[in-house]
Structures are given as structure tokens and as C-alpha cells.
């Protein structure tokens, strides 16, 4: 296959602080070499505006035979940023256990309440993390360190790292947090300091570029299906019952799509990547009317970022700089009720929003395993002196990804893919007209 990838080996190369000369203290003999690469077929759109197959080489994750830091002297810090996500505590625990039991580091600090914890004026003193203090945290949702949103000056953060004598910083967060990690690493490089910055991508929306699946996503989908099942039960329990379930997904509808595939009771799924209309021949409301006349019930799953073109721009932004979304679910419910009221057609509508339940629960078994691998591989990379990168799984391989590539864009559903076609076949919605901006065609299947 012709390699039409718009990135070169230089673009996927991982920065190192210096030569790794110290024999690894790990108590086993299988190590990976920095020259070990894995060639993966992606899509050129992952790296920019291109389209078509793309073969790119990535550095394999894993322990190295020689490390950069003297593990008995290096101090480590961990920070969690952004919204909550199942598995945060699992990643923290994995990093702490790997650092203490296998590398025997000098100490691990937990930075409280996100990047604010680096700024003295906030008064969030770091906490020492030990195997004893993290032994049970995987049983609970959220993050034991707390979190926050909002930018902090990279100069102030690096000042704090130097005062604390931190040699390795693990940053756990989403797209915005990875951009902050890149700025921190750039400031460290400008000062020629020897501090490693390793990111562990976290997003319940599964929208980090090049990351096949982010931790917590499996758990989120599992919990979303529980809410959808309840909505279906409510819908079939009343004449013309309609269950509306709102799930997370500001710009990417992966939770809505995956939960729809997992539970076949969904009749309509609305995602940010695919526009739709409410009225007219191609509209949701006439299709819903036909559905109710034929089947007497319906279930609608809507991602929080869907249908924003139907709502007025709020003009507001949150602490992370993201636009504050209009409430599409409440708007949709109001439009549905008004539509059927005008037609004097009986309707029972139930609205369920499980968003904060979904993101606050402990990780399920699959996500716990995944978090363990991410934490361990993040420590291996850091101890080898790597920096400016994230550790992630691409398909079935754990690799090192440069922060520049990860922060290039947000990952979104490909609405021309076989995956999205399967979603539409599951719901009974017609497909989007290929390679046009035409909205979804709804049908009363």
C-alpha cells in the first residue's frame, strides 16, 4: 500500500532529556528498545485535512533496559485536571505503585485541585502519595487529588516544579489539559531544565486525537445503557411514550453511538457531528409522529453537543475556554411536547440525564485493566527520560505519542464510516447522503 501519510518519522519521534545510562532496577529481563517501532494504518484525516489510508510508525511503549533518572533520587508529581471520568483513581494508583514498588523513587507528590495546586496563592498544599494512601482508591469514583478547570501560566507551574524539586510530572486530563502539558514542556525546554512531562489522556467523550479509546469510556457506555434501558421501560409503559436520554459528548458523539449499538431499543440517536432538522419531510418530529402511530413508543438518545445549530449562541465560555452549550435536550423535549399538543395527540415524555452519574462512578473491570497498563507504561517512559508525550493504546498496541500530534485536533465520529452506518441501521434512521452536509433523514421504522 502506498504510504501517503502527511507525517514523517520526525513528527512521531519522542523527545528525550538525555542519554539513558543507568541500568534499570526492574526485577525482570525483558525490555523494549527505543528503535522498536510499530507501523499502524490510520487515516490521513487524523493528522489534518487529508483523506485516505495512512501508514505511520510509532515508538512502542514499555520498560527500557537503561533509564535516565536515578530512581532513588527522583521525585514524581501527579496532577488531574478537567472533568471527572471513571478510572482517574486507577491511573493514580497504578503510577504510585509502579514508582514505589518497582522503581523505588524518592517520593510521589499529589498536586491538589488541578493546575491550581501549583500556584501558592490558592493554598492547595501537595500531598504525599504512598502505596498505603492509594491502596483502596480504585474502589471509588472521581479523583482523590481533586480537579479544576482553567488555565494557569506555564511559567508559574515550572517555577513550582523547580521549587518542589520534581523531576517527573504526570498530567492526567483531556484535550485542553494536554495542550497545557505541551506548554509546560515547552517552558521547561526553554529553561533547559531536566523535567519530564508525560501525559495520560483522559476524556469521557473519547475525543482525544489518535487515541483509539480513552480510559473510562467503557464504563461510561455501560452506565449510559442502564439509563437507556430505563427510558425504554418508561416509553413502553404508556401510550405514545417517548424516552429521551441525554449523554455526554460536547463535540463528539461516541458515547451516544456506542450505547446505541449496545442496546438496540434506541430509535433515534443525535450527535454533534451530524446535523438534523425538526420539521419538514426530513425532520425528526414528523418521523417521530409516524413512529408513535405505528409502534406507540420511541427512545431518543441525544449527545449534549448535538443540534447546537438549532439553539441561540450563549456567547459564554467555561473556565477551560470551551463554549457553553445550549441545552439541546430540554429544547428538544419542549419542541416534542408542543408538536404533539398542536396535533391533539396524547404523549407521555420522560427525560433522563445520567451525565454526572456516568462520569462519577468507579471504573468497570475493562477500564481498570486499561488504566493499569497506562499508569505502568507512563512510568516506564518517564524513567527512560522521555518527555512531551502521552502514552496510549492505538488499536491493540501501547505506544508513545508526541503531544504535538495529540493536540492537533479533536477526534470526532466519522459519519461516512461503517461504524456510523451500523448505528443508523440499528436505530432505523436512514444514512446521511455521502460526502454532503445534508442532515439525517429520519424514517419511522
31: exposed, middle or buried (C-beta count within 10 Å: 0-12, 13-18, 19+)? middle
- What's the 3-state SS for the chain? CCCCCCCCHHHHCCEECCCCCEECCCCCCCCECCCCEEEEEEEHHHCCCCCCEEEEEEEECCCECEECCCCCCCEEEEEECCCCCCCHHHHHHHHHHHHHHHHCCCEEEEECCHHHHHCHHHCCCCEECCHHHHCCHHHCCCCCCCCCCCCCCHHHHHHHHHHCCCCEEEEEECHHHHHHHHHHHHHHHHHCCCCEEEEEEECCCCCECCCCCCECHHHHHHHHHHHHHHHHHHHHCCCCEEEEEEECCCCCCHHHHHHHHHCCCCCEEECCCCCCCCCCCCCHHHHHHHHHHHHCEEEEEEECCCCHHHCCCCCCECCCCCECCCCHHHHHHHHHHHHHHHCCCCCEEEEECCHHHHHHCCCCHHHHHHHHHHHHHHHHHHHCCEECEEEEEECCEEEEEEHHHHCCCECCCCCCCHHHHHHHHHHCCCCCCCCCCCCCCCCCC
Side by side, the strands of the sheet bearing 297-303 are 268-270, 297-303, 241-247, 348-352
**Whole-angstrom Cα distance, residue 68 to residue 23?**
9
Per the structure block, which three cell numbers stand in for 265? 431499543
Which among 90, 205, 207, 218 is annotated as catalytic? Answer: 205
Pairing of strands 196-201, 389-394: parallel
Burial (CB count <10 Å: 0-12, 13-18, 19+), residue 93? buried
Catalytic (active site) residue 57: no
Please list the active-site residues.
205
Amino acid at each position: 500500500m502506498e504510504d501517503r501519510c502527511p507525517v514523517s518519522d520526525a513528527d512521531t519521534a519522542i523527545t528525550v532529556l538525555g542519554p539513558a545510562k543507568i541500568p534499570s532496577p526492574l526485577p525482570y529481563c525483558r525490555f523494549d528498545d527505543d528503535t522498536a517501532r510499530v507501523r499502524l494504518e490510520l487515516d490521513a484525516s487524523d493528522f489534518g485535512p487529508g483523506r485516505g489510508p495512512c501508514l505511520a510508525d510509532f515508538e512502542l511503549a514499555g520498560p527500557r533496559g537503561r533509564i535516565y533518572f536515578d530512581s532513588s533520587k527522583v521525585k514524581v508529581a501527579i496532577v488531574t485536571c478537567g472533568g471527572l471520568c471513571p478510572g482517574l483513581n486507577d491511573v493514580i494508583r497504578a503510577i504510585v505503585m509502579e514508582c514505589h514498588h518497582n522503581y523505588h523513587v524518592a517520593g510521589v507528590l499529589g498536586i491538589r485541585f488541578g493546575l491550581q495546586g501549583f500556584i501558592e496563592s490558592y493554598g492547595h498544599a501537595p500531598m504525599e502519595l504512598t502505596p498505603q494512601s492509594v491502596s483502596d482508591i480504585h474502589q471509588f469514583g472521581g479523583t482523590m487529588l481533586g480537579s479544576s478547570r482553567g488555565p494557569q501560566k506555564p511559567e508559574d507551574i515550572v517555577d513550582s516544579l523547580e521549587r518542589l524539586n520534581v523531576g517527573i510530572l504526570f498530567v492526567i486530563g483531556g484535550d485542553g489539559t494536554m495542550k497545557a502539558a505541551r506548554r509546560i514542556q515547552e517552558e521547561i525546554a526553554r529553561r533547559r531544565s531536566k523535567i519530564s512531562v508525560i501525559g495520560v489522556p483522559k476524556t469521557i467523550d473519547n475525543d482525544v486525537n489518535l487515541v483509539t479509546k480513552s480510559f473510562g469510556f467503557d464504563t461510561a457506555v455501560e452506565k449510559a445503557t442502564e439509563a437507556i434501558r430505563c427510558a425504554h421501560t418508561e416509553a413502553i409503559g404508556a401510550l405514545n411514550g417517548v424516552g429521551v436520554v441525554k449523554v455526554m459528548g460536547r463535540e463528539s458523539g461516541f458515547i451516544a453511538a456506542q450505547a446505541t449499538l449496545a442496546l438496540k431499543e434506541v430509535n433515534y440517536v443525535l450527535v454533534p457531528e451530524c446535523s438534523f432538522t425538526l420539521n419538514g419531510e426530513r425532520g425528526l418530529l414528523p418521523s417521530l409522529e409516524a413512529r408513535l402511530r405505528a409502534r406507540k413508543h420511541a427512545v431518543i438518545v441525544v449527545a449534549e453537543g448535538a443540534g447546537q445549530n438549532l439553539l441561540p449562541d450563549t456567547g459564554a465560555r467555561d473556565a477551560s475556554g470551551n463554549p457553553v452549550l445550549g441545552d439541546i435536550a430540554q429544547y428538544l423535549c419542549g419542541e416534542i411536547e408542543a408538536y404533539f399538543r398542536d396535533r391533539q395527540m396524547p404523549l407521555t415524555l420522560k427525560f433522563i440525564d445520567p451525565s454526572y452519574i456516568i462520569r462519577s462512578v468507579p471504573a468497570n473491570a475493562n477500564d481498570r485493566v486499561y488504566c493499569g497498563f497506562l499508569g505502568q507504561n507512563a512510568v516506564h517512559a518517564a524513567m527512560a527520560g522521555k518527555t512531551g508525550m502521552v502514552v496510549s493504546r492505538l488499536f491493540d498496541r501501547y505506544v508513545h505519542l508526541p503531544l504535538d500530534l495529540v493536540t492537533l485536533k479533536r477526534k470526532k465520529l466519522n459519519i461516512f464510516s461503517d461504524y456510523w452506518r451500523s448505528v443508523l441501521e440499528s436505530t432505523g434512521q436512514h444514512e446521511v447522503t455521502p460526502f454532503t452536509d445534508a442532515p439525517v433523514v429520519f424514517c419511522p421504522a
